[in-house]
């Protein structure tokens, strides 16, 4: 059961090859056995999962059950789930029990999915290696001495290790695509506004977007179809119909115009990764796609732009953690100021504090115009570059990450080194574009990711390209030896 995809599990449950309860028990067992090595979960919710699975079995027996009934999934611990501990990977929220459901959580429950637990993540989604989690680092199932990527490292590791067939995730600067690439799985960040952010703990509100990590584009399409759509509770949710993502998967690629970003293939890209990408591009060309070179001249400024905009929004969003209404409170505060300062100083980890302070600095008097306003103008230039590119091509393809998974501790000393891991993924967040990362080969036994970026609301198209590639290749179906 554990090696089956979401699509196969839906069929298996319908045909009564196994019950939802048997399936949940099997996967919970795998999660528990993997936990000492991978630490992919912050909370394992066996009791509520088995109750949900029993309910799924009743609905399956009664007939007319919704599409994902009985399918086991996990939520990144950034999504609030009523009655469930929701920590966001932080000491600040170590004991926070959400009083309500995120829209993503409610929709997947309504679709019948059975939640097995909450996955580990970088604290407040700030990190690219999952090493900033208060609950300990997650390890990569392909090599436990290496990181799974971040911030959705728990979701990516859990899917790669066949602990769940799919898991929710979020992406502010690459936090779905980068760990998907490093763990050899498929991860999609939808268009900004496509999936509701209600109940998803905010990091940088103009960049954050919820998506999914799964083992194939088909499974990602099944999950995204259940998650996407307008929500009046998110003021930036877009009121546009959700297409049938699964229905569009098989569309032939003849005539598809693929743009190769000059800046993505420029200096700094590992030649072994480039070789994997070139082979994949040939496979797409063999299906009738055309390759064209395009240039986004302002894209190299995406990292500095991001490290102004994201920390600025973070410093504002995280002001809500004050030790008064919820979250960590220091012992014996002398006065209100002491309560705020020590509760925050103790409750937040080093990277979160670094980003709050960066944001405070760039928004402060005398620096606001030079940094924040300047970054917003450069963001406009980057978005315009993408818009021009999409007038010439249908999708942009390039690497997801500059390297394969690195060793734990290798990049923790210098934050800039860590930030540069997201050099290929940040552009899509700044421009609000959908992008998917899919496995396209291995370098030294570690997975390589290929990124497909689409125009606004072109999720259907990028999933289609990913699926057509996955029909012809089996990189996405490979499993780490210890977790087959």
Partner 1 sequence: MYDFAPIFPKFQRHYHMSLRRSDIDNIARLARLALSEAEIPVYIDSLSRIIGLVSELDRAATGGVEPMSHPLAGQKQRQRADAVTESDQHELYQRNAPQVLAGLYLVPKVIE
Known catalytic residues?
A: 76, 151, 175
Bridge pairing between strands 114-119 and 186-189: unpaired
Please say which residue, 59 or 85, places its beta carbon nearer to partner 1: 85
Cβ neighbourhood burial of 448 (10 Å; 0-12, 13-18, 19+):
buried
3-state secondary structure of 117: strand
Q: Under the criterion CB under 8 A, does residue 380 sit at the interface with partner 1? A: yes
Phi, psi angle pair for 356, to nearest 5°: -60, -45
Q: How far is CA 300 from the centre of its chain?
A: 23
Compute the least distance from the CB of residue 387 to partner 1, in Å.
9
**Host H or E run for residue 186:** strand 186-189
Selected from 366, 391, 444, 481, the binder of partner 1 by CB under 8 A is 366
Bridge pairing between strands 186-189 and 435-443: antiparallel
Q: Under the criterion CB under 8 A, does residue 456 sit at the interface with partner 1? A: yes
Q: Under the criterion CB under 8 A, does residue 324 sit at the interface with partner 1? A: yes
Fill in the per-residue mask, 73 to 92: x = in contact with partner 1 (CB under 8 A), - = not in contact: --------------------
Q: Under the criterion CB under 8 A, does residue 348 sit at the interface with partner 1? A: yes
Compute the least distance from the CB of residue 25 to partner 1, in Å.
31
Give residues 424-443 in contact with partner 1 (rule: CB under 8 A). Answer: 429-432
Please say which residue, 248 or 415, places its beta carbon nearer to partner 1: 415
Give residues 382-401 in contact with partner 1 (rule: CB under 8 A). Answer: 383
C-alpha 231/C-alpha 121 separation (Å) is 25
| Distances, alpha carbon 333 to alpha carbons 92, 325, 343, in Å | 16, 15, 9
Q: Under the criterion CB under 8 A, does residue 62 sit at the interface with partner 1? A: no
Give residues 229-288 in contact with partner 1 (rule: CB under 8 A). Answer: 232, 235-236, 238
**Cα first-last separation, the chain:** 11
Q: Under the criterion CB under 8 A, does residue 207 sit at the interface with partner 1? A: yes
| Distances, alpha carbon 345 to alpha carbons 134, 196, 253, 427, in Å | 14, 31, 53, 32
Compute the least distance from the CB of residue 64 to partner 1, in Å.
31
Please say which residue, 8 or 322, places its beta carbon nearer to partner 1: 322
Selected from 250, 282, 338, 472, the binder of partner 1 by CB under 8 A is 338
Two tokens, residue 101 = 């459901």
Two tokens, residue 362 = 């760039």
Q: Under the criterion CB under 8 A, does residue 381 sit at the interface with partner 1? A: yes
Q: Under the criterion CB under 8 A, does residue 203 sit at the interface with partner 1? A: no
């Amino acid at each position: 059961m554990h090696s089956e995809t979401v699509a196969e599990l839906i069929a298996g449950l319908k045909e009564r090859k196994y019950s939802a309860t048997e399936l949940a028990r099997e996967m919970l067992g795998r999660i528990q056995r993997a936990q000492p090595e991978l630490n992919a979960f912050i909370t394992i919710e066996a009791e509520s999962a088995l109750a949900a699975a029993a309910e799924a079995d009743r609905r399956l027996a009664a007939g007319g059950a919704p599409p994902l009934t009985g399918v086991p999934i996990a939520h990144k611990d950034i999504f609030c789930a009523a009655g469930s501990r929701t920590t966001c990977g932080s000491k600040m929220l170590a004991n926070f029990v959400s009083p309500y459901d995120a829209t993503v959580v409610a929709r997947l429950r309504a679709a019948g999915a059975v939640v097995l637990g909450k996955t580990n993540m970088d604290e407040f989604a700030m990190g690219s290696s999952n090493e900033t989690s208060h609950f300990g680092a997650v390890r990569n199932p392909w090599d436990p001495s290496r990181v799974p990527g971040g911030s959705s490292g728990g979701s990516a590791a859990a899917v790669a290790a066949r602990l769940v067939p799919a898991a929710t995730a979020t992406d502010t600067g690459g936090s779905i695509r980068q760990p998907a690439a490093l763990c050899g799985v498929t991860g999609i960040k939808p268009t900004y506004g496509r999936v509701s952010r209600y109940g998803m703990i905010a990091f940088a509100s103009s960049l954050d977007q919820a998506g999914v990590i799964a083992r194939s584009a088909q499974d990602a399409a099944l999950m995204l179809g259940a998650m996407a759509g307008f929500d009046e509770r998110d003021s930036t949710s877009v009121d546009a119909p959700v297409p049938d993502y699964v229905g569009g998967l098989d569309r032939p690629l003849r005539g598809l115009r693929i743009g190769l970003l000059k800046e993505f293939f420029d200096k700094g890209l590992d030649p072994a990764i480039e070789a994997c990408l070139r082979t994949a591009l040939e496979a797409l060309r063999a299906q009738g796609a055309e390759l064209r070179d395009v240039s986004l001249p302002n894209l190299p400024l995406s990292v500095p732009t991001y490290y102004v905009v994201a920390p600025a929004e973070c410093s504002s969003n995280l002001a809500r953690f004050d030790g008064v209404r919820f979250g960590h409170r220091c012992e014996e505060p002398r006065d209100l100021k002491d309560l705020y300062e020590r509760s925050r100083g103790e409750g937040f980890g080093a990277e979160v504090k670094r980003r709050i302070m960066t944001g405070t600095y760039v928004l402060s008097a005398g620096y606001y115009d030079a940094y924040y306003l300047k970054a917003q103008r450069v963001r406009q230039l980057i978005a315009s570059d993408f818009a021009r590119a999409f007038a010439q091509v249908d999708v942009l393809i390039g690497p997801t990450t500059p390297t394969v998974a690195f060793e734990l501790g290798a990049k923790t000393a210098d934050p800039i080194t860590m930030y540069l891991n997201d050099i290929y993924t940040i552009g899509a967040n700044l421009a609000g574009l959908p992008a998917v990362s899919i496995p396209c080969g291995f370098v030294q036994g570690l997975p390589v990711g290929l990124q497909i970026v689409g125009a606004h609301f072109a999720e259907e198209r990028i999933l289609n390209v990913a699926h057509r590639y996955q029909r012809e290749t089996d990189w996405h179906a490979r499993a780490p030896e210890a977790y087959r």
